[in-house]
């Protein structure tokens, strides 16, 4: 009985030591930049909207890009195969107007993050 308890105590200590290390390794992911930038005016809707985070993320939940009529212009949204901290949202053909984008991802630590941005296509 005593032996078991000692082993249990050691296991608890090992877990506590591991937990103390985790917060640094899995700091919260933050948004680094959006392209086109929030508030920007561009000449044409780009082929891709790029959403970049401070560190690699787990997965993309959704990205939408709404025009003033409420139509979504994102065709597909996925992680950049060359940069796991970046989401590439493929968009439809350019048209003038203001677009409101929303994104939703799951960070590497399992936390959900969402955000919003807006830009104008002048053309
Ligand atoms: Cu987090």
Query: Which residue ranges make up each domain of the chain?
Result: 28-121
Q: Which CATH architecture has domain 28-121?
A: Sandwich (2.60)
Distance, CA of 14 to CA of 111 (rounded, Å): 25
pTM above 0.95, yes or no: no
- Write phi, then psi, for 58 (nearest 5 degrees): -80, -55
- Centre of ligand 1 to C-alpha 56, Å, is 12
Enumerate residues with CB within 5 Å of ligand 1 (an ion). Answer: 28, 109, 111
Question: What pLDDT shows up at residue 67?
Answer: 94
Distance 30 CA to ligand 1 centre (A): 9
Taking only the tens of pLDDT, the chain with its 123 residues reads 556 566 666 666 666 655 555 444 556 899 999 999 999 999 987 789 999 999 999 999 999 999 999 999 999 999 999 999 999 999 997 689 999 999 999 999 999 999 999 999 997
Residue 37 corresponds to which tokens in the numbers above?
């930038």
pLDDT given for residue 28 in this prediction: 81
In 3-state terms, what secondary structure has residue 110?
coil
- CB contact burial 10-31 (16+ within 10 A = b; e otherwise): eeeeeeeeeeeeeeeeeeebeb
């Amino acid at each position: 009985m005593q032996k078991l308890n000692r082993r249990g105590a050691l296991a608890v200590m090992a877990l506590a030591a591991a937990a103390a290390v985790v917060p640094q390794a899995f700091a919260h992911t933050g948004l680094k930049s959006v392209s086109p930038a929030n508030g920007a005016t561009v000449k044409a809707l780009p082929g891709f909207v790029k959403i970049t985070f401070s560190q690699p993320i787990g997965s993309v939940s959704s990205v939408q890009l709404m025009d003033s009529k409420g139509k979504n212009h994102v065709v597909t949204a996925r992680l950049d195969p060359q940069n796991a901290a970046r989401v590439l949202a493929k968009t439809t053909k350019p048209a003038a107007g203001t677009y409101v984008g929303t994104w939703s991802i799951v960070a590497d630590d399992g936390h959900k993050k969402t955000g919003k941005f807006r830009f104008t296509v002048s053309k």
